[in-house]
A and B are shown apart, each in its own frame.
Chain A
């Protein structure tokens, strides 16, 4: 799995968009970008994944640069419940794949 780099922490005002960056400069052509988050004392929660096109679901949007070397997870209207550690992971999709987590970004949503 390609290595990812994320800032260790970020703050975001409640109601504003939270933009969480991730660098993955060594990503391979068949590797997807996945995002998970982990709220305190809970298991990680899948958020979204994509290959090269931007993706959106009910939780978030994923913007992947054209060269695929970086991406941004966007929470459009952050709430206090979005306070969590966010993990950016790159991995091949298909067959069995364990998830290799780094240390993620601790997002603190501020009232």
Chain B
């Protein structure tokens, strides 16, 4: 069990540029979640995958955001035409389908839009 990993850990981009983040979940976990966290707030749910199927999207996930998990393993989160309001920590978590359903979080990707 090597834990959830995310790449990159930090990203600075200019407004209007596109960015893509990657999440590698714990290998035997078939559920994967994306959250966003702004300063002083708890994480907010963005979207959820079970295997390769995206089963729920928050209304926080505007049309500029898209997430994929093509083979049911790693996932990517893309933000198009970034805005300063997109600056946040983007967290990925994974969980098993059976058991206590506790989610294991990665270290996050901190995005700064200038």
Contacts and interface: CB of A to CB of B under 8 A. Distances in A.
Given A43-B106, A45-B105, A49-B100, A98 B42 contact: no
Contacts of A49: 100, 102
Contacts of B41: 103
B91 A98 contact: no
Given A42-B107, A96-B48, A96-B55, A87 B101 contact: no
A94 B42 contact: no
B62 to A, nearest CB: 18
Interface residues of B, number: 25
Interface residues of A, number: 20
Nearest to A87: B42
Contact of B43 (A34, A44, A93, A97): A44
Contact of B45 (A44, A45, A94, A98): A98
Give the 3 A-B CB pairs with smallest separation, nearest first.
A101-B42, A43-B105, A98-B45
